[in-house]
């Protein structure tokens, strides 16, 4: 299963553990393990930000069988390995590498580079997905965006989280 990932659920109290500590602990149990923590990191003029996309979950991959992954529950940082019932047996649930790569690609595309008034943007997620607009102002991690609606010259002014925006290629 080298091209698939296993999902680990962390105990609620460990959701904010540092990625480095978690990775070192898991690798001490299964040495050839690759660990992926799906977080969005970005920096703007005010500082650096990190948002967890799946609070309490991480993905791991390595040259191991189902039973080997179940050994990870001996870590104080792992609540359980996600499994499903197959007859009378529990089978580890795998996520294909292609889906993890798509997640990584989306994360890298969503990282804003610090928007400013007048920037033309594309909306990547949410109810206005695939529409374009212009940043009219900023409020913390949100942008006030004038959206160009597909019906003629109509526009709508709304606040959208920066993580849902991408700077239009012509403005970079």
- Assign residue 69 the CATH number of its domain: 3.30.70.940
Q: Are residues 19 and 79 in the same domain?
A: yes
* pLDDT value for 61: 92
Strand partners, 47: 44
How confident is residue 113, by pLDDT bands cut at 50, 70 and 90?
A: low
Task: Quote the mean pLDDT of the chain.
Answer: 82
Reported as a pLDDT band with limits 50, 70 and 90, residue 124 is confident
Residue 21 belongs to a domain: yes
Residue 104: both structure tokens together: 């990584």
* pLDDT value of residue 13: 61
- 41-59 pLDDT, tens per residue? 766 555 666 777 788 889 9
pLDDT at 16: 66
Q: What pLDDT does residue 54 have? A: 81
Structural domain boundaries enclosing 141:
120-171
pLDDT at 35 over 60: yes
| 150 and 100 part of one domain | no
On whether both 91 and 129 belong to a single domain, the answer is: no
- Say if 115 falls within a structural domain: no
Share of the chain above pLDDT 70, in %: 84
Identify whether 13 is part of a domain.
yes
Percent share of the chain, pLDDT over 90: 22
Same-domain pairing of 69 and 150: no
**pLDDT confidence bin for 74, thresholds 50/70/90:** very high
Same domain for 12 and 78, yes or no, is yes
Closest CA to 11 of 60, 56, 72: 56
pTM strictly above 0.85: no
Indicate the residue among 86, 110, 134 that finishes a domain: 110
The number of beta carbons lying within 10 Å of the beta carbon of residue 163 is 20
- Residue range 15-44: mean pLDDT, rounded: 83
Same domain, 93 and 132: no
The total number of structural domains that make up the chain: 2
Query: What confidence category does residue 161 fall into, taking pLDDT thresholds of 50, 70 and 90?
Result: confident
């Amino acid at each position: 299963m080298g091209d698939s990932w296993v999902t680990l659920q962390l105990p609620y109290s460990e959701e904010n553990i540092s990625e480095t500590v978690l990775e070192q602990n898991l690798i001490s149990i299964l040495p050839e393990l690759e660990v992926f923590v799906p977080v969005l990191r970005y920096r703007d003029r005010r500082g650096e930000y990190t948002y967890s996309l799946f609070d309490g979950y991480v993905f791991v991959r390595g040259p191991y069988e189902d039973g080997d992954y179940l050994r990870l529950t001996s870590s104080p940082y792992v609540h359980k390995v996600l499994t499903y019932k197959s007859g009378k047996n529990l089978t580890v649930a795998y996520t294909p590498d292609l889906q993890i790569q798509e997640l990584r690609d989306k994360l890298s595309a969503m990282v804003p580079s610090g928007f400013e008034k007048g920037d033309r943007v594309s909306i990547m997620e949410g109810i206005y997905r695939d529409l374009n607009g212009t940043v009219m102002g900023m409020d913390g991690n949100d942008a006030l965006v004038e959206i160009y609606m597909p019906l003629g010259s109509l526009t709508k002014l709304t606040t959208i989280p920066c993580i849902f925006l991408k700077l239009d290629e012509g403005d970079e």
